[in-house]
Amino acid sequence: MKTSRRSALKTAAFAGVSVLTASKVRAAEAGDFYVAKNGRINQSLVTWNFRPLTVPDLAKLAVKFGVKSIELVGPEHWPMLKELGLKCAIAGSHGFAKGFAQPDQHAECLKVLEQRIGQCAAHGVPSVITFSGFRKGLTTDDATKNTIAGLKKIAPFAEKHKVTVALEMLNSKVNVEMKGHPDYFCDDMDLSVRILKEVGSPYVKVLYDIYHVQIMHGDVISRLRQYKDFIAHYHTAGNPGRNEIDATQEINYPPIMRAIAETKYAGYVGQEFIPVREHVKSINESVRICDV
């Protein structure tokens, strides 16, 4: 009996489940899991934060849990995701260590973004992430002008290929690796949107990370309503700690998800928390919490 390409790719992907987590994934397969069913929020799984789960691990769980995307993975994974009926909601690019606040970093960022935008357009990936980078002594006015100038350079290329460039706001308060980014320039949602307004492109928007907005501002719902037309993508995580999004932390995610749905947002919400408990159970719980 001939095996279809789809079946073969599913087998290959699922065979990639790490030995360490295989039993946990099998437990999910056995039926002890929640499947997203309400359809108001398109959920996605980020990958770096769920290690040692691999991309194939997460793809398998996404299929089981009714999650629609695995994000911030390279183009080498996109065919496998497509065959499994999954999307890559947003692609990676040059990383947050460099960005458009620094003019001498523009050329490198633009080169990476142009290559990735071309790949996204060819594979149906709707968005690519970008960053402001760090102040490094620049005044707010100078860093703002530099960031606007850099984003204006990439905007026509993004518009041509119909791929949205998403500028991520990050918090600059929490001085812990991967939880905060001291000296990061775009650490303010109001400033980030002012920059986008100056760029003036429907294909240059903001990545609204709920964890970072909570730390820097606190009024998550009012800002997402205010800036709904400028938001390309959302990320989640609990505060404090950037861990699970359940009742162990201060952000109340169900009403936030309902507010997002009420804005008629049609993009994706990426789960980017760092689990401190059993990964598969925490991921499934986050799917349930956000399925409003």
* Confidence check: pLDDT of 3 > 50: no
Q: What is the pLDDT of residue 25?
A: 58
Domain count, the chain: 1
Q: How far apart are CA 142 and CA 274, in angstroms?
A: 34
Q: What is the pLDDT of residue 280?
A: 97
Give the mean model confidence (pLDDT) for residues 70-94: 97
Query: What mean pLDDT value characterizes the chain?
Result: 91
pLDDT, tens digit (0-9, with 9 covering 90-100), for 224-235: 999 999 999 999
Q: What is the pLDDT of residue 23?
A: 57
Q: Is 282 strand, coil or helix?
A: helix
Domain that holds residue 132: 5-290
The CATH number of whichever domain residue 232 belongs to comes to: 3.20.20.150
pLDDT, tens digit (0-9, with 9 covering 90-100), for 107-119: 999 999 999 999 9
pLDDT, tens digit (0-9, with 9 covering 90-100), for 20-32: 456 555 555 556 8
Give the mean model confidence (pLDDT) for residues 96-104: 96
Q: What is the pLDDT of residue 32?
A: 80
Q: What is the pLDDT of residue 8?
A: 36
Max CA pair span of the chain: 67
Q: How far apart are CA 243 and CA 236, in angstroms?
A: 9
First CA to last CA across the chain, in angstroms? 43
Q: What is the pLDDT of residue 174?
A: 85
